[in-house]
Amino acid sequence: MVLHCQKSFYSVLIIIGVLTVTFCLLYILPGDPARMMLGQRADVASVEAVREELGLNKPIYIQYLRFMGNAFQGDLGRSYSSNRQVVQTIIEKLPATALLSFSALLISSIIGVLIGIISATKKYTFIDNASMIFALFGISIPSFAFGLIMALVFGHLLKWFPISGYISDGWEYLILPMLTLAFRPLEITARITRSSMLDVMNMDYVRTAKAKGLSTRSVVFKHTLRNALNPVVTTISASLAATLGGVFFIEYIFNWPGIGLLAVDAIFKLDFPMIQGTVLFSAIVFVIINFFVDIIYAMLDPKGEA
C-alpha cells in the first residue's frame, strides 16, 4: 500500500514536470502566438488585443500559474488554427488512436507469444534461428521506416491494401497501420517469451513432468508457459505505452485521423495549445500505464513488493 502511494506521488510529480515543459514550449518555439492567430498582415493594435486576451503580456510566473491552474481543471485553451477547445478535439480523436493502438497490441501479443513458444520448443533449430533473426530485424528498424516500406510495397506496388484512410471506408484501411505498429512490440514479446520459456524449461519440476511421460503439449502449456508468463505479461503491458508513443509517426504516414496526426499537424502549424495538449495527453497515458504495469508486476511477483 505504501509503495502504491509513493508511485502515485511520483506520477503526480511527473505530470507537473510535463506541464512545466509544455508551458516552456510557448517560449522555446519561434513565432508570436497572437500574430499566428490573426495572420502576418494583422495590425499591431489587433495583435496586442489578442495578447491581452490570452494573457501573453503578463509576467511569465503569472502565465505559468494560470496555465497550471487551467490544466488541472481540464482547460488547455483553444487551438490557434481551429479556435476549438483543445481537450474536446483530443477526445474526438481518441477513439481512432485507441482502436489502432489496442488492435496492434492484440496482434503483437498473440503472434509474439506464439513465436516465442515455437522458438523455445525448437531451440537452436532453423526455425528458432530464423525467428530470432526476424525479431532482431524488427527491433532494429524504426517504426516510421518500416511504415514507409509497408506503404510502398503493399500499398503502392502490390496494391493489396489502401495506404491512407479510416475504417469508416472499410476495415482494410486498418491493416497496414496496425501491422506496422505491431511489428516492433511483436518482436520484443517473442524474444522475452523465448527467454523466459527457456529459463523455466531448465527447472527441476519441468524435467520431472517430462520424466513422468506427460505429453509435450501438457509440459509446454501447463507447466512451462504458465510459470513463464510473469515477464511476458509485464512486457506486453509496457508495450502498450511504447505503442501509443509510436502511433504518432504511423498515423501521419497512413493519414490515420487520430491524436498522432493531430499532433504532427499542430507542429507544422505552430499551434502551441494543441502541441501542449497532445504532449500532455501522451505523458498522462504513459504515467497511467506504467503505474498499472507496476501494480500488475507486484501482483504477479509478490516478493518484488516486499
| pLDDT lower than 70: segments of the chain | 1-7, 26-27, 29-32, 35-40, 204-223, 225-226, 242, 245-246, 296-306
Cell numbers 504532449 label which residue?
A: 279
Cβ 289 vs Cβ 237: under 8 Å: yes
What pLDDT, on a 0 to 100 scale, did the predictor assign at position 306? 42
Give pLDDT, residue 215.
62
Q: What pLDDT, on the 0 to 100 scale, is given for residue 296?
A: 67
What is the distance between the alpha carbons of residues 108 and 105, in angstroms, rounded to a whole number? 5
In this predicted structure, what is the pLDDT of residue 268?
Answer: 80
- Please state, as a whole number, how many other Cβ atoms lie within 10 Å of the Cβ of residue 57: 12
Q: What is the pLDDT of residue 146?
A: 86
List the CATH code of the domain at 92-270: 1.10.3720.10
Q: What is the pTM of this model?
A: 0.78
Rounded Cα distance between 143 and 293, Å, is 23
CA 295, CA 79: separation in Å to the nearest integer? 36
The whole-angstrom separation of Cα 272 and Cα 294 is 33
pLDDT given at position 304: 45
The b/e string for 244-277 (b: 16+ C-beta within 10 A; e otherwise) is bebbbbbbbbbebbbbbbbbbebeeebbbbbbbb
Sequence-ordered list of residues with C-beta below 8 angstroms from that of 8, at least 6 positions apart, any chain: 291
pLDDT at 305: 45
Q: Where are the domains of the chain?
A: 92-270
